[in-house]
Amino acid sequence: QKEVEQDPGPLSVPEGAIVSLNCTYSNSAFQYFMWYRQYSRKGPELLMYTYSSGNKEDGRFTAQVDKSSKYISLFIRDSQPSDSATYLCAMSDDNNDMRFGAGTRLTVKP
Amino acid sequence: ETGVTQSPTHLIKTRGQQVTLRCSSQSGHNTVSWYQQALGQGPQFIFQYYREEENGRGNFPPRFSGLQFPNYSSELNVNALELDDSALYLCASSLIGENYGYTFGSGTRLTVV
């Protein structure tokens, strides 16, 4: 079993849809939870981070962390074609290495 | 404020050769981390450098080594290249202690033939 599990998709939705992306993990020591967006031929770009459990909202994006279930989610409201990218969940404890999921490829169709 | 820059963008090497990849950190950042991203996979942590010393290492063999310079730029060296080393190599800079504030470069695409 991988330490971080993420459905690779691909996921295709129409413009304006609500997108739900999820990851599960096995290491209960993780405290920092991040979502990165990666466009083709680019490095990952930090979208949101959450410390411990709870929700965080930033514009059209909402991140949720449920440590009791070891489950994190990213919701994208009113999705746009420019949101088409690979979304990577990442998490870390107090050490230096982030553990990434495999990434979910999202396409938002006009 | 400049971001993280990596060079070269693409590289083709022969199995058994050695390669050096370079990274310039974002202004104000004092740590550099290197990640390997195979096609269709998430990045995997190779190591991090802080104050010119290795500050954590992932599950990579010793033929993967690195350097950090006083200006916080960094190099990743890989000896005795294997076909499985073909991947996108990402450099990320951050401030020590900030486990979330990583800024990534666009990466170096290494192909080993």
Transcribe A10-76 into DSSP letters.
Answer: -EEEETT--EEEEEEE--TT--EEEEEEE-TTS--EEEEEEESSEEEEETTEEEEEETTTTEEEEEE
pLDDT at B99 over 70: no
Q: Would you state the structure tokens that stand for residue B3, as one six-digit string? A: 């971001």
- Reported as a pLDDT band with limits 50, 70 and 90, residue B1 is low
Residue A83 has φ and ψ, to the nearest 5°, of -80, -10
Cβ-Cβ contacts under 8 Å for B62 (sequence gap 6 or more): none
Which helix or strand (DSSP H or E) is residue B78 part of? Answer: strand B74-78
CB A10 within 8 A of CB A101: no
Q: Which residues of A touch B38 (CB under 8 A)?
A: none
Size of interface A-B (CB pairs under 8 A): 65
Distance CA B40, CA B60 (A): 19
Contacts of A4 in chain B (CB under 8 A): 42
Picking from A31, A92, A96, the nearest residue to B55 by CB comes out as A96
- Are B112 and B14 within 8 A, CB to CB? yes
Contacts of A49 in chain B (CB under 8 A): 100-101
Per-residue pLDDT tens, chain A, 110 aa: give them.
779 999 888 999 999 999 999 999 999 999 999 999 999 989 999 999 998 888 999 999 999 999 999 999 999 999 999 999 999 999 988 766 789 999 999 999 99
Can you give the length of chain B in residues?
113
Q: For chain B, list residues whose CB is within 8 angstroms of any CB belonging to chain A.
A: 4, 31, 33, 35, 40-45, 48, 55-56, 58, 90, 92, 99-107
